[in-house]
Chains A and B, each alone.
Chain A
Amino acid sequence: MAHGGSGALGELVGPELAELLRTHGVAVRRPVWGRRHGQHASARGGLGLDFRDHRAYVPGDDPRQLDWRAVARRDRLVLRQTEAEDDLPIVIAIDGGGNMGYGTGAQTKYRVAAGLATALAWAGVRQGDAVGLVCGGDSDLDTGLLRVASGQERVDAIARRLLAAPIRGRTPWRRLLPELAARMPRRSLVVVCSDFLDLAEPERDSATVEAELIRGLAHLRARRHDVVMLQVLHPDEREFPWDDRRLLRFVDRRGLRPTIEGTGAALRRAYLDRLVAHLHHLDEVAEANGLVLERVQTDVPLHASFVALAGRLAGQPATIGASAT
């Protein structure tokens, strides 16, 4: 691997995106509050070089920060403040349930989500950010990598972990948020990767789980985390290409819902209506709660999806093509 990444990393990210990551980093639109020096604009004044502001001296301030020229002009003690650049803790939660296994060959939704997550982690690590990962699937949460850490080893660990995920069962969404809330540094970038199509759990329907998840994410947002919902969809899910009279048997990849048989012609219209309504609903709730909802499709090259994701993180509006309609 040209960039020193492990085999898993290269397999997930691919050569084009790896090349792209040489020049692209991860930026968020708001100042961060990292614990260490980094490359993101900090919410606090700090030790940077760029002038930020003056403020009156209060006892206990570092006298080295007195701006003597300003003191001379104003005849009172004034401190010179400079812009600080902090690191950005990045926590990635990825849905490794069976629903993410849909796709053509190796190009499943999970692989796209994992590729983007790895790329994000790698870009963050390259600019000194700490990265954590929580991985759902098979009715369990793997929080082994949740505590954020920096360094190439973490990226490799994340890549290996993502590649090793079994992609089956379901993600226990209700356990995710408490885990995150407890172990996440403040003002982190939280990226939740899933298809957000069907979050149902054995005794709770999808709408309820979804509402809880949104509420939880909104809560994180209120605690000044940047929350990104990365929705990965397959074209089949967007377009429902089966429109003839051949009989189809739809099996729930997560094993939760009963099998449905029918012809595509009979099912398609209602499916598309419901899907569009759902995506609209997601758009609305994300916007209402200050969450960034980025929608990517598996048939779009990974690097293009990453550029779009990075743009959204930096404050670009959502592209029209990614919207629900």
Chain B
Amino acid sequence: MSLLAPALLLGLLGLAIPIIAHLLGREPPRTIEFAALRFLSPDEPTVTRRRALQDPLLLALRLVLLALAVMVLARPASFDRTGVAMVAEPHDAVLLIDASASMALRPGDTTMMDRGIARAQTLLESLPSGTRVGLMTSDPSGPLIEPTLDVEQIRSALDKWRGQGAPRWGGWALTDSVARAAGLLRDTAGDRKRVVYAVGDGTERGLAGLPATGEGGALIVPIPAIDPELPRPGHVGIRDVTWTPAPDLDPRALRIEVHVHREAATDAPQLADDVLEVSVVLSVDGQTAARGTAELLPGSDAVVEFTHTLLGEVAEVAASVALELPDDPLPIDDVRHLWLSADDGINVVVVNGDPSELRAHDEVFFLATAISVADRQQRLRLTSLAPDQLEARIRETGERALADIDVLVLANVRAPAEDVVHVIISRVRAGMGLLVTSGDRVDPADYDARLGGILPLRLREQVELGTAPGRTEAVAEGFAPPDLAHPMFRGIGDEISLGSARVRKAILCEPDPRRQASIVIAYTNGAPALIAREAGDGRVAMLTTSIDRDWADLPLRPGFVPLASAMLGWLGDAAALAASARLDVGDPRPLAGSGPFVVTTPEGAEITLSRDDGQPVVFRDTFVVGHYRVRDGDATANFVVGADPRESHTAWQPMATTPVSDDERVAVAIPQWRGLVVILALILAAESLLRLRRRTK
């Protein structure tokens, strides 16, 4: 504890004032020479010979009052022992607050968010005067204030934002937000230092992994919401909920798996017998349908499995899975929502253009094998057709031939006949997924002529890769790292490792920026390997090499398994994202159909969207976790917005040390005078009462 303004302690000299006042206030007794002293008795209770100060209690109160006032003015403060550092000279700063859901963790009575904001307020109080400070949060709808000298504006914006229910799902990771925060400092003039003070927790999406400097050389100072040495509680959360049809039990039976994780507390020793029993409740259509128990050791996972049979002919029912854990320090990940339906599969039809007796040369073999390994939920149902079969069916039944197909794979197939190709195109535009893989049978000119309207890029020619003029040895091309930001790879991450794959032959494409195709994977020479594009409501992907071993050894690489699953899943989602569609918070939801659409949010609000100029309709307000109902005339296309499971990982990762050098550090003072103010007010009230009583006596 020390004083921010010790010189003001001189004010204690003022303690003499009430003493002098009480001494001077001693009224000299009026002398009356009286004859009837006989009737005056010195035994009366208040009759004393007053030599002492008058009203010693009042005097004592006033002395305490004055001493407290002086102490408050001297601003006693303790210094944050973590030594939260800030630049000592006036500078330009942006206060960046982590608004991710993990900030809802309660290390005690208050959440990380409360503590973080308190720390931010303290920091605002302690900033060197003349510092311009702005505000930003990782909440997309949070306050955004350009650097200003008006600290009070920042304060009130923080309070207001906190009152609006932060944190919530859908916040950016701090690493993403830091760039935006540094952008706020871009326009500040002069040579002053630029600093981003990032307040948050030490989780992966929080302070961990923040760079030391941001755009334009802005220093990034991480400020943990609580001291990293302080204990942080463990919690239990639902990591994931998956469900699969269980036709072996009942045609309408479902098997629901709830993955529960127990995060260990930082201060508790991990004992073998520290088993926590957690009740998991499955609610279907608002009614409790089943209850299970998970036994969890600190840091362990458990899977609770339910089987549930859907009643009646209802296509979909809203269900939720919740933990019965009222004291959980992080309650927001204790519930997950899902739509249950008896059929959630994606029908994938592979048109095998080059069937082979040898499995190593069969297009379907690799795909089917990869899917059986990767698609544990068995969403993808693969069937195979010969090109002639497909065309014959289309000729027979028209669009109905493709009605049940969610994803059509043209694997090394000659271009579909002219009389059927329009049906395929129409289905793709209505939502079907189309994957074209290359091979010897793929003629770029035919494909351009027939499917060029929906292909991501027009095809140019088949080339042998790695055979450049002057090269004496044919060197196969490899794959460059995939674009993990593509929605195809959501939730997959580093599993796609294709670095060791070698490609000998591929089809080159015509660059055409107008097509808005995205190159998901490229070869090391820069040519596109996997390109994708949305066509109408459907999605089209083109693999410019073969899916079997004819042109490349891609199917032999471990990355092929998740790639195949992700590719087909993404294509299939476009078709029937429909039923069990599950989005992360904040993800846009394209709505397929003619519209207008009526979206009912979990909060009960109804939002009407209609198709405008043939543009696809996208519902973007998906920041509330829960069930969303979409009505398109008589059809429904419900979806669920689920919590980001990454926010359940509350374990802190190592954080970068502050880039502020020691001679620039200013430890943040934690004010200790607020309690004194309360005591001061109480004593003042007591003094007033006492004075009032004296006067009325």
- Which residues in A have some Cβ–Cβ distance to B below 8 Å? 98-102, 109, 195, 197-198, 200, 206, 234, 237, 242, 245-254, 257-258, 260-263, 265-267, 270-271, 274-275, 278
Contact = CB atoms under 8 A, between A and B. Distances in A.
B40 to A, nearest CB: 5
Contacts of B27: 246-247
Contact of B33 (A237, A247, A251, A258): A251
B7 interface: no
Interface in B186-236: none
Contacts of B42: 258, 260, 262
17 contacts: A101-B33, A102-B34, A197-B38, A200-B38, A237-B35, A248-B30, A250-B37, A251-B33, A252-B33, A260-B47, A262-B44, A267-B40, A267-B47, A271-B36, A274-B38, A274-B39, A275-B39
A198 B35 contact: yes
Nearest to B35: A99
Contacts of B38: 197-198, 200, 206, 257, 274
B141 interface: no
B403 interface: no
B694 to A, nearest CB: 8
Given A257-B37, A260-B37, A271-B40, A249 B47 contact: no
Given A245-B697, A266-B47, A251 B39 contact: no
Contact of A249 (B29, B36, B46, B48): B29
B31 interface: yes
A271 B39 contact: yes
Identify the interface centre among B29, B35, B46: most chain A CB within 10 Å of its CB. B35
A142 B614 CA distance: 136
A171 B482 CA distance: 127
A270 B44 CA distance: 8
Interface in B498-557: none
Contacts of A249: 29-32
Nearest to A258: B42
Contact of A266 (B30, B32, B45): B45
Contact of A253 (B33, B39, B41, B45): B33
A254 B31 CA distance: 15
B36 A251 contact: no
A253 B34 contact: yes
Contacts of B40: 250, 260, 262, 267, 270-271
A251 B34 contact: yes
A247 B30 contact: yes
B659 to A, nearest CB: 69
A206 B37 CA distance: 11
B34 A252 contact: yes
Contact of A250 (B32, B46, B48): B32
A154 to B, nearest CB: 30
Contacts of B29: 246-249, 261
A324 to B, nearest CB: 13
B50 interface: yes
Interface in B592-620: none
B81 interface: no
B693 interface: no
Interface in B318-370: none
Q: Shortest 4 CB-CB distances between A and B: which pairs?
A: A262-B47, A99-B35, A247-B29, A274-B39
Contacts of B31: 248-249, 251
A263 B38 CA distance: 16
Given A246-B27, A246-B30, A249-B30, A263 B46 contact: yes
Contacts of B30: 246-249
A262 B47 CA distance: 4
B49 interface: yes
Contacts of A248: 29-32
Given A234-B35, A250-B37, 16 more contacts: A98-B35, A197-B35, A197-B38, A198-B36, A237-B34, A247-B27, A248-B29, A251-B33, A252-B37, A257-B37, A260-B42, A261-B49, A261-B50, A270-B39, A271-B40, A278-B39
A249 B27 CA distance: 11
A164 B45 CA distance: 42
A253 B35 CA distance: 6
B324 to A, nearest CB: 68
A261 B49 CA distance: 6
